[in-house]
Chains A and B, each alone.
Chain A
Amino acid sequence: MNNTKPSFDVDQVARIIEQHKNRPGALLPILHGIQDELSFIPSEVLPVVAKQLNLSRAEVHGVVSFYHHFRTSPPGRNIVQICRAEPCQAMGSRNLEAHAKQSLGIDFNQTSIDREFTLLPVYCLGNCACSPAVRIGDVVYGNVDIDTFDQLMHEHSAVAVEVK
């Protein structure tokens, strides 16, 4: 067991923990730091974080699993969030959701087979004056109808996809 090579860069994680561990309430900043750099929080990291913060592994797991933002498996190359909240519903987001799932061939919280897209629901991007809203990475798009969505997927995909 001790000889198994961990799937993450131990020094990198140690550096992130060191950077934040003396701040009050350090756990969230540490988890954000790890996910920002590694794109997810590998489960093998949890005991390392726990030890450094003098917490149990269960406590760290409890926090990671509580928040929708934290994920424990690698996402696709693009993270696509579709707003499911009421203003977007009022402008047809239910159809957009269905179209997105169908055209990418995945449900929410899944990653496409080519690993290009991970589809996530989000409850409000604060872009409610031009619904429906979609976020890809850190960029928010407004007035996204089905055609705009297909166009966005086409622009963000490294793999050539046919736009129907």
Chain B
Amino acid sequence: MSTSATKVFVPRDTTACSLGADDIAKKAKQIIDSEQLELNLVRNGSRGLYWLEPMLEIETSLGRIAFGPVDEESVDTILRSHCWELLTEFDSILNIELPHFLGLTEEISYLKNQQRICFSRVGIIEATSIEDYNAHGGFVGLTVALEMQASAIVKSVVDSGLRGRGGAAFPTGIKWQTVLDAEAEEKFIVCNADEGDSGTFSDRMLMESDPYSLIEGMIIAGLAVGARRGYIYLREEYPLALKILNEAIELAGDAGVLGENILSSGKVFILEVRLAAGAYICGEETSLLESLEGKRGEIRPKPPLPAIKGLFGKPTVINNVISLASVPGILANGADAYQAYGVGRSRGTLPFQLAGNIKYAGLVELAFGASLNTLLHDFGGGTRTGGPIRAVQVGGPLGAYLPENQWHTPLDYEEFMKIDAMLGHGGIVVFDSSVNMSEQARFSMEFCSIESCGKCTPCRIGSVRGVEVIDKIRSGIDVEENTVLLQDLCATMVDGSLCAMGGLTPYPVRSALQHFPEDFHVKADSL
């Protein structure tokens, strides 16, 4: 197949593949070969418009055109139509009458109305192609960083206003400054890719669709703080991401981007992926470090901060995938360009993930400041089952459940804190009226009891007692007394737990109780 052949794209992404993208790719290849079509099949990442997966795109002189969700039969019809050859002027698009035709991909409003900065290449490039990555602005940030003083790189990240995208929203630049200032023979960069929060998949998508942006971000972090070795701690539940990351790391080594002589600069950065083993708590940074050291993933009390005493006791930068992958763009385009997006102290963009019972589920990267309603209705289109939305859980299993009167809240870290909620890692899980909120509250406690590392009592024992008390309330046993007991237990867990696991589990529980008392047979005024 000549390289000048027209490109056809079928995603290689966990969700796209879970809906049949591998079979579609196989079918497309078969047709291209048997019909000897001048087409070159490329496995891109997903655009994140998941209700349209498996999606097939074809390159034309007007831009890429999309079809989705396609099945094997429609792929056959589309590829035999030679429609891409007929597209020479814009109006000719209107003449295409093929199954599942969506028009120009970039014009699909769900995509067009986003502000894709971190995800600018996702779904466009072939994930592990260095050539593709370079052609779309890859390694510009690294080239800039190689010419800078370490302190200037850190200053750029501080000035960008970037805050940790894993959920805690701690300023990334401040973390880096602490590690830069720490004196040590050896320092480490650790990427927290243990994306355990339910309803989130942005880390997975980025690693599967644009792995070099994460690799580039980690190398820049290494240059900024003086670390020569990095680890990506990846959850075991992401087998495709593991495969793609390992491919990318090997190719980056061959290309002289990673290794003993980064882009011929004489600088060193060695990177490897370490596989987790199915413990939610290992997404907590100190627990993650214990796990990387080969121990039980029990959390460490802080201080000392990992920035001072982290992996193997050395100063360590530990950042989320999206935080690190945002860095190359900040270096390439300047801190001001990044900081220009957003509101208040929430600068830049957040890749939100619409999940659960929602019609148009997928990835929506937006600047901070839009409202939850915009995501739920303008992007999400309401529930998939058709009825009204009843509750929305934002920020993973430790995030609050929000009722309709809170959906106007701006997507901003501080605004969410004001209503006892959190944006976290940007996961948004939608429930329709079939949900029973006391059952959800019980699950929050049950999840904590299953995943608690056991180090502190409020979390280990509190969560078990939480399940028992909620069971009593659900059975109508001494409802008022047990509700008081539950509130008391929640307060103990919030105030007495060592980390966010026990400390935040009460948030979904309290919010369910406060906003949906009818599901607990509790009168609202008795709370």
Contact = CB atoms under 8 A, between A and B. Distances in A.
Interface of A: 24-29, 31-32, 53, 62-63, 66-70, 85-91, 122-131, 133, 135, 138-143
Interface in B12-49: 14-15, 17-19
A86 B198 contact: yes
Given A91-B384, A129-B15, A143-B19, A124 B277 contact: no
10 contacts: A28-B294, A89-B443, A90-B430, A123-B451, A124-B197, A126-B14, A126-B201, A126-B238, A128-B355, A130-B19
Interface residues of B, number: 60
A139 B447 CA distance: 24
A55 B431 CA distance: 48
Interface in B254-285: 274-280
Interface of B: 14-15, 17-19, 50-51, 53, 195-201, 203-204, 236-240, 274-280, 291-298, 312, 353-357, 361-362, 384, 393, 397, 427, 429-432, 435, 440, 443, 447, 450-451, 453
Given A32-B277, A67-B279, A130-B50, A86 B356 contact: yes
A130 B274 contact: no
A90 B450 CA distance: 20
A25 B274 contact: yes
A88 B199 CA distance: 9
A128 B427 contact: yes
Contacts of B356: 86-91, 128, 131
B195 A126 contact: yes
Q: Which 7 A-B pairs have the closest CB atoms?
A: A85-B198, A27-B294, A128-B355, A67-B277, A90-B356, A129-B361, A142-B18
B427 A28 contact: no
Given A67-B279, A123-B447, A130-B361, 15 more contacts: A25-B293, A28-B277, A28-B292, A63-B296, A87-B199, A90-B356, A90-B432, A123-B280, A124-B197, A126-B15, A127-B201, A128-B199, A128-B353, A128-B361, A129-B51
A26 B362 CA distance: 37
A87 B198 contact: yes
Given A91-B356, A91-B357, A140-B14, A28 B274 contact: yes
A52 B276 CA distance: 21
Contacts of A129: 15, 50-51, 201, 353-355, 361-362
Contacts of A27: 294-295
B357 A67 contact: no
Contact of A142 (B19, B203, B237, B431): B19
